[in-house]
Amino acid sequence: MMPDHFGDQLAPMPALMAAADATTDLKVGALVFANDYKHPVVLAKEVATLDVLSGGRVELGIGAGRMNTDYEQSGIAHDRAGVRIDRLAESVEVMKAIFAGGTVDFTGEHYDVTGYQGFPTPVQSPHPPFLIGGGGRRILTLAAEHADIVGINPKIASGRVDTPTAQNGAADRTDEKLRWVREAAGDRYGDIEINMLVFAVVVTDDPAGTIEMMAPMFGLDPAEVDDYPLAWIGSEDQIVESLQARRERWDASYLVVQQDAMETAAPIVARLRGT
């Protein structure tokens, strides 16, 4: 999975194609494409092409856009959250129509598509899995109603990852967000996969001391950090046990670690494989 920002990273689409071409079973996707950076007709064509060239190994992660720096540096208009979410909802509708085949005509507040016939047709039917994540009720409701994978994330109200962002990822807030998803999804909840992006992976024989040190960074009490859904802290045995308990509590089976934590997390992932 790759982010979609304008900073110090490769452009996601060619990088994902390179990863898919170098492997045979690895799934590839963005976590997540920012909807404001590409028209849905353009993104649908690129994703369908990647799905064909990879043999059907694409997940379509898409979000409403969130990082102030991307908008500031690019000059793209940074509309209020409600407008961006409305635009995302239309984009998802347009892309699903394109993936379904046939001629697409769509008239909305943000997009107008006339007589468009998508090519190529993605390998996955009816479309590559949609992954939509967020931290607010409205975006999570949209995800619960339309996504195959729902990412439960901290809300980034300021447009920057800061202390309130970390606090918004606490266990009690995650409980609330999962309730929103369950309520909005209704009968389709059982078909949804729950995704979370992990902030930190720290393997240590002194979890209490590490948590005490990290608590001010999160703006939380140590007890809240100990139960923090998006941080793995402890020995490998303790982390494995806690992840199994968290899966029971939050139904999260799709966990993504940061690039700098991949080697640390690898033995834990190996131990959990198939459980």
Question: What does the pLDDT average to over 44-73?
Answer: 96
DSSP H helical ranges for 163-261: 163-167, 171-185, 207-218, 222-226, 236-250
Q: Per mean pLDDT, which range of 112-121, 195-204, 266-275 is the poorest?
A: 266-275
Question: What does the pLDDT average to over 47-71?
Answer: 96
Reply yes or no on whether the pLDDT at 197 is more than 80.
yes
| Angle 238-241-247 from CA coordinates, rounded to 5° | 135
12-196+250-258 CATH choice from 3.20.10.10, 3.30.70.20, 3.20.20.30, 3.40.50.300: 3.20.20.30
Question: For position 275, what pLDDT does the model report?
Answer: 64
Contact 153, 196 (CB under 8 A): yes
Cis status, amide bond into 12, omega within 30 of 0: no
Question: For position 27, what pLDDT does the model report?
Answer: 97
Contact 193, 253 (CB under 8 A): yes
Question: What does the pLDDT average to over 57-82?
Answer: 94
Question: For position 46, what pLDDT does the model report?
Answer: 98
Tokens 């208009």 sit at which residue? 77
SS3 231: strand
Reply yes or no on whether the pLDDT at 66 is more than 90.
no
Give the strand pairing for 252-256 and 231-234: unpaired
